[in-house]
Amino acid sequence: MQESIAAGTEMEHKILESYLGFLIYLCCTYDAINPYLKGIHLTLDSWRPWRKDDGWKMTLSEIRAALQEKGIEVGSDCFGAFSSQAKAPKQVKWVERLPSDVEALWELFSIEKPPR
């Protein structure tokens, strides 16, 4: 994963999804790694609509402000264009916190004998 981060600002969605699945499995034993999975999760969902640059969801008031700024009338049907069934792209742009989360995970798992 560090090679993908060093190579550029995008990485393959499927590979990152696989890494996250493995790390979630490890959380059953090492729950201390859980906070460091957030950067991976935010990167996986960064392609979805109504996301900020840091990957977090926009609040309803932020979405309304963005729509009004574009001159789109805010109504109940204006959100229907964004289906939750859309397919993820092959490449996703990683969020700002991903490199530090990966570095922390690397540090936690770099010792010879894991802590109890």
Residues of the domain holding 40? 2-108
**In this structure, are residues 33 and 23 in contact, taking their beta carbons and an 8 Å threshold?**
yes
With respect to residue 116, please indicate whether it lies within any of the assigned structural domains: no
Which of 24-28, 62-66, 77-81 has the highest average model confidence (pLDDT)? Answer: 24-28
Mean pLDDT over each residue of the chain, to the nearest integer: 84
User: pLDDT-derived band of residue 100, with 50, 70 and 90 as boundaries?
Assistant: very high
Q: How far apart are CA 93 and CA 51, in angstroms?
A: 12
Q: pLDDT per residue over 13-53, tens digit each?
A: 999 999 999 999 999 988 889 999 999 999 999 998 889 88
What pLDDT does residue 69 have? 85
Do the domain assignments include residue 43? yes
In a domain, 114, yes or no: no
pTM of the model: 0.76
- Contact yes or no for 19/40 (Cβ under 8 A): yes
Within-domain flag for 58: yes
Domains contained in the chain, number: 1
